[in-house]
Chain A
Amino acid sequence: MPTTQRGRPSGSSILSRPAVFLNLPYDRKFESLFLAYVAGVCAFGMTPRTTLEIPGSQRRLDRILSLIGDCPYSIHDLSRVQLDRKQPATPRFNMPFELGLAVAHEKLGGRHAWFVFEEMDERLEKSLSDVKGTDVYIHHGKASGVFAKLGNAFLRTVPRPTVQDMNTIYDRLRSSVSRIMRETGADTLFEARPFQELAALASGLTSQVVIHER
């Protein structure tokens, strides 16, 4: 981890900057929390990365592994454990599977820290008892919950944005969503281009809110 506060050490590359792999459900009901994660992660000076960025031509699993390998941190939100409405009704295995990949990467010597987030208290003990004994961050399905728990997860990062800072970035980001969607021609936030542009906006807002306004 680079050690220069509020600035980049000279000669550092993009690769040396911290990135966070976000393993989140991609559904409309999750849009506001998705934005909250993007705003929160950027507020800590980190760059969010997701599987949305994976081009169709690449083998998905290889790219996911490479993304996890590139990111020193990963966040796995296991809030969607229920069956979906589309027939045939199935639970989603992608998120726990990607958590498994991150755990394996760390256990095999990769420099990686993973965090598990959930909406409901004690549900994970039933849905994924293998992670018993691990701290699970419960956000109660609220953006403010995500911000508070991100603050607990990234406890030793400097500088540390307040929940208020993250909320300000989130509010401003939300107000730009419709314009970004219009300009990118996207139907949903869960596409590569809107995600990347919103993350870029969030990082610009971070430099104004967390650094300049302090």
Chain B
Amino acid sequence: MSAPVKLVTPYPTMDDVAEVYGISPARLKQLKSMVDGLVSRGRKKAVAVRNAGVRLRASKNTRHAHNAKRAAERK
């Protein structure tokens, strides 16, 4: 029995897909920048989730510093 045929699908680029749909080069440029924004926002979110403890500590420190400053001003 022959081995099952493996279907290998090449990944089209955004330019290829835009060509299929007839998206204009100017609009494609905007869409590409939208993808960049979505990807970088996703990365920032992932880092924020990963470093949640650090962020919490940082905000606590800021609050402590703020409270200490106010206490000093009251004296």
Q: Show the binding face of A for B, using Cβ within 8 Å.
A: 1-9, 12, 14, 17-19, 44-47, 53, 154, 156-158, 168, 171-172, 175-176, 179, 183, 196-197, 199-201, 203-211
For the A-B complex with A1-B7, A196-B22 known, give 5 more contacts whose Cβ atoms are closer than 8 Å.
Answer: A1-B8, A154-B7, A200-B23, A201-B31, A211-B11
Task: Tell me the minimal C-beta distance from B29 to chain A in angstroms.
Answer: 12
Q: Show the binding face of B for A, using Cβ within 8 Å.
A: 4-14, 16-23, 27-28, 30-32, 34-35, 38-39, 41-42
Closest to A208 in B: B39
Q: Tell whether, in the assembled complex, residue B9 and residue A204 are in contact, meaning their CB atoms are under 8 Å apart.
A: no
Whether A205 touches B39, Cβ cut-off 8 Å, given contacts A14-B20, A200-B23, is: yes
Give A66 to B55 CA distance when docked, in angstroms: 55
Give A8 to B10 CA distance when docked, in angstroms: 6
Partner of B31, one of A9, A154, A157, A200: A200
Q: Tell whether, in the assembled complex, residue B34 and residue A199 are in contact, meaning their CB atoms are under 8 Å apart.
A: no
Partner of B12, one of A5, A196, A203, A208: A203
